Amino acid sequence: MRIYQIDPTKDSRWDALVREHPNASIFHSVGWLQALKGTYGYDPVAFTTSPPTGDLKNGVVFCRVRSWLTGSRLVSLPFSDHCEPLCDSPEDLAFLIRYLQTALEHQNWKYLEIRSLSHLSSISDADGSRPALHYFLHVLDIRRDLEQVFRGLDKDSVQRRIQRAAKANLIEQTGTSEELLRKFYRLFVLTRGRHQLPPIPYRWFQNLIHCQGDAVEIRVAHQGSQPIAAILTLNFRNTLYYKYGASDKRYNNLGATPWLLWNALANAKSAGATAFDLGRTEEDNPGLLAFKDHWVRHPRILSYWRFPNTSGLDSPDGWRLKLAKQVFSFMPARLLTFTGRLIYRHIG
C-alpha cells in the first residue's frame, strides 16, 4: 500500500468524497479549506491510499501550520471543532497515521493532531499516545416534530427566554451582506473583550462568506434600531452548525441569543436538517457549558489526538494564551482587534 498527497482545494476528487462520505462535515468542505488558506496562509493537504488515476476512496485532511511562535505542525483542522478522518477501513487509517508519524521526523513538525469524533485508541496504543485535549460537543437531534424539539429544551433557561424574546418585539435581520457582517462583528468584538480575548480577524468572516456562499447565514437581533445579539451558522447536508455568537450584555435579559438560535434551528429543520451542532466547549468554560447543556443534556466527549502525544499545556491555546489573557484584559478594543490579526494564525 502506498500513500499519496493531494491538494484538496484543487483536486476535484476531494469535493466528490466530501459530498458522498457519511462522516464528512462542513469542516471538510473545499470552501472551509479555502477560507483557512486565504485568511491564515495555511496550506491544506490530504493524504490517501488512493492512486491519482482512480476515485478517491479515503483521505485525512490537514493544514500545515508554520509558526515561529508556537511551532510547526500538521493539524486536522485549525479553527475546526472536529474533522473526522474519511476512512472506512481502520487498517487504512492506521497505515496513514503511521506513515505521517514517520514523516514528522523528516519535516521538522512538532506533532500531528487529529480532531476526530471516533475513538482512535486502537491506532495509538502501539506508540502509547493518548488524547492531548478534551472538549464537550453538543449535537441536538432535530428529527422529531418541532414542538417536541422545543419541549425537550430546558424550560427556564431556553424555552422561557425564547418566549420572552418573541414578546419583546425584537427585529431579526438575516443574510450575509457587508452591513450585516459589520453589525455582527461589532458585537463580536464586544463579546471577545468581555472574555479577555482578541477577536478573530474580520477578514476570516469575509473569506468564509466568499468561500462558503449560501452555506453561511448571519442573524442579528435588534431592539428598535439597536443590534443586541448576533449568531453565525453554517449549513452542510443535513446539519446546521452554530459556529459564532455575540451579544451586548446590557440586553441579555431579553433572551435574544436563544431566540436567534431557535429561529435558525426552525428554518434549517424546514429545509431538511436533522441535526444541530452547537460546537465544542472547553472543560474550563462553565458558563458556555451550562448554556449548551440547556439545549443538549448529554454532550459527547470530543478528544484531540496528538502523535506524538504532548501535554495540553503545550497547546497553542494552552498556557501561552492563559498568560496572555492577563495582558489582553487591559487592552482597548481597537488594540485588541489589531492583536487578533497578528496572533490567530499562530493559534490554529
Q: Where are the beta strands (DSSP E) in 186-328?
A: 216-223, 226-236, 239-247, 275-282, 300-307
- The answer to whether residue 118 scores a pLDDT higher than 90 is no
Indicate if the pLDDT at residue 264 is higher than 50: yes
Mean pLDDT lowest among 139-153, 267-281, 313-327, 328-342: 313-327
- Which residue has 459530498 as its cell numbers? 19
Query: Pairing state of beta strands 275-282 and 131-141?
Result: antiparallel
Please state the separation of Cα 33 from the chain's center in Å.
12
pLDDT at 216: 98
216 within 8 A of 240, measured Cβ to Cβ: no
Residue bearing cell 453565525: 232
What's the mean pLDDT in 98-103? 87
What does the pLDDT look like over 16-74, one tens digit per residue? 999 999 999 999 999 999 999 999 999 999 999 999 998 999 999 999 999 888 889 99
pLDDT over 70 percentage in the chain: 90
- Report d(CA 337, CA 344) in Å as an integer: 11
| 300-347 pLDDT tens trace | 999 898 888 665 444 545 545 565 666 666 677 778 788 888 888 888
- Contact in structure between 1 and 50 (CB atoms under 8 Å): no
DSSP 249-313: GGGGGG-HHHHHHHHHHHHHHHTT--EEEEEEEETT-HHHHHHHHTT-SSPEEEEEEEES---GG
Whether the pLDDT of residue 190 is over 50: the answer is yes
User: What is d(CA 120, CA 49) in angstroms, rounded to the nearest whole number?
Assistant: 19
> Percentage of the chain surpassing pLDDT 90?
68
Task: Convert the pLDDT of each residue in 48-64 to its tens digit.
Answer: 999 999 899 999 999 99
Per-residue exposure over 242-258, b if at least 16 CB sit within 10 Å of its own CB, e if not = bbbbbbbeebeebbbbb
Mean pLDDT of the chain: 90
Exposed / middle / buried, residue 294 (Cβ in 10 Å: 0-12, 13-18, 19+) = middle
| Cα–Cα dist 48/85, whole Å | 10
Closest CA to 137 of 118, 161, 152, 123: 118
Fold of 138-301: Aminopeptidase (3.40.630)
- pLDDT higher at 191 or 90: 191
Homologous superfamily of 4-136+302-347: Gcn5-related N-acetyltransferase (GNAT) (3.40.630.30)
Give me 59's grid cell: 483521505
Tell me what the mean pLDDT of segment 134-160 comes to.
Answer: 96
DSSP code at position 198: P
- pLDDT tops 80 at residue 105: no
Cβ–Cβ contacts within 10 Å for residue 126, how many? 11
Grid coordinates of 157: 433557561
- Return residue ranges of the chain for CATH 3.40.630.30: 4-136+302-347, 138-301
Residue with more model confidence, 348 or 208: 208
- Short-list 25, 73, 16, CA closest to 48: 16
CB of 212 closer than 8 Å to CB of 29: yes
β partners of residue 235:
240
Does the pLDDT value for residue 80 go beyond 90? yes
Which stretches within 168-215 are classed as H helix? 178-194, 202-212
CA distance 48 to 304: 21
